[in-house]
Structure 1
Amino acid sequence: MALQPSLSPLLIGSPAAPHTLEVYLDYVCPFSAKIFNNALDQLIKPAVTEPGGRYDIYGKVKVILRLHPQPWHGSSTFLHEAALAVLRVAPQAFWAYSRVLFKHQEEFFDIPVSQLSPIQIRAKLVELGKEAGLNDAQMAEVAELLKYKSSPNGGVAVTDDLKYNIKIGRHNSIHVSPTVLFDGLIAGDVSSSWGDNEWSSFFKSRVTA
């Protein structure tokens, strides 16, 4: 349930909430898009951020998004780097940018990007910042963070943040996306197809504080 300070905007809800829901997502995974769009965005985020929300979990449950690029999705690293760059430049726009990435994920599947260079893919990702409300100056900052460093194999400015996310996934033996943890333990019963009823039952059975 750890989270380094520079990635604190990945936590949704009250940091003091006694329970923690962690969700490992890959922006190029259709099942991750499903759980983000149908559950996290529409049901769970409002419940942990708005008093009187559904499930009676406001102040009781916090959510941590774990960025978990899968290596068999060739462009996944680029999408996660872009999300981390937005997180650094405009943390208030990170959730909206995540929504945009999932909306456009099919544009970054293997075949659509097969003829694009990494620089071209990153340019497309910077341009998507407009849909998340980034202004021109912020988009320029994101683009700067996504430029290769001077060393031949040094990555970009947010590579260390990406490494942290990958390492914590490995540390917790996370294999598939999405994977959900509750209070540090994998909740293997959770499905990306769950709706309101299933999530209501889930929280009723687990939220004790």
Structure 2
Amino acid sequence: MSQNATLSADPLVWGHGPHIFEVFLEPTCPFSVRAFNKFDALLSEVGEEKMTLKIRLQSQPWHLFSGVIVRYILAASFQGKEAAKAVMKAVADHREEFEFTDHCSGPNMDATPHQILARLKDYSGIDAYEIFARADLQTEIKWHCKYARQNGIHVSPTFMINGLVQPDIGSGDDITDWAKRILA
């Protein structure tokens, strides 16, 4: 893709139903990973014709490689939402390869951003290097950030149903509980 070609991300949206379930995730957060791993089962339980799942990425500075990983996921979304999902799944399945011990120590202290990108590509099978390196990818990244701020989202995971933040929904909840709330 040439540097002059207009970027067009595939929104991280699954399903097409009237009930909107938006989830703000930081990809290396263990609680976000727990929520992410339930989404396929949730869509199956509720039905894609009844709900729409929207993943919003919420980079957080205490997850030290968060910005690099979020950028790569969004870069992958230009190959389609399933490519972005594959990168998120790779991070979820190999979380320790992308996170610091206690957010400040451990083997990733010696990792470089290039090594993190190589791990993302190797584990996911998605090569998003070309889009990752484009300055105009910031538009997509900033959209996720602004959208979260406009909705008062500061931490992950945070859940919204039909545009309203649901502070009492957590990643540890059973998907049947999520389904009841979504369809209420």
Q: Say whether 1:180 aligns with 2:180.
A: no
Cα separation, 2, equivalents of 1:21 and 1:162: 20
Q: Identify unmatched segments of 5+ residues in structure 1.
A: 47-53, 150-155
- Given the alignment of the two structures, is residue 32 of structure 1 paired with residue 32 of structure 2, yes or no? yes
107, 111, 119: which is aligned to 1:112? Answer: 107
- Residue in 1 that maps onto 2:77: 87
Once the two structures are superposed, the pairs formed by residues 67-146 of structure 1 within 5 Å of their partners are: 67-110=57-100, 111-130=106-125, 134=126, 139=127, 142-146=128-132
Q: 1:194 offset after TM fit, Å?
A: 1.2
Which is further off, 100-109 or 178-187? 100-109
Structure 2 counterpart of 1:194, from 145, 170, 173: 173
> TM-score under structure 1 normalisation?
0.74
How far, CA to CA, are the matches of 2:83 and 2:176 in structure 1? 29
Q: What are the residue-to-residue correspondences of 1:49-64 with 2, within 5 Å?
A: 54-55=45-46, 57-64=47-54
Larger radius of gyration: 1
Q: 1:158 to 1:62 in 2, by over 3 A?
A: same
Structure 2 stretches lacking a partner, 5+ long: 1-6, 101-105
Q: Which amino acid aligns with 2:71?
A: E
Matched residue type, 1:163: K
* 1:49-98 per-position Cα deviation (integer Å, ceiling 9, x unaligned): xxxxx33x442221110011111111011111111111112433222222
1:75–1:113 CA contact under 8 A, matched in 2: no
- Displacement of 1:129 in angstroms is 2.8
Q: CA deviation at 1:170?
A: 1.0
How far the C-alpha of 1:157 sits from its partner, in A, is 4.6
2:11 maps to which residue? 9
Q: Which runs of 4+ in 1 moved over 4 A?
A: none
Distance in 2 between residues matched to 1:158 and 1:129, nearest whole Å: 20
If the length of structure 2 is used for normalisation, what is the TM-score? 0.83
Q: How far off its partner does 1:196 sit? A: 3.6
**Could you tell me how far apart the structure 1 residues matched to 2:107 and 2:132 are?**
21
Q: 1:169 to 1:112 in 2, by over 3 A?
A: farther
Does structure 1 conserve the Cα–Cα contact (< 8 Å) formed by 2:159 and 2:167? yes
Distance 1:117 1:97, change over 3 A: closer
Secondary structure of the structure 2 residue equivalent to 1:158:
helix
Matched letter for residue 117 of structure 2? R
Q: Percent identity?
A: 31
Equivalence for 1:50: none
Aligned-residue RMSD, C-alpha: 2.1
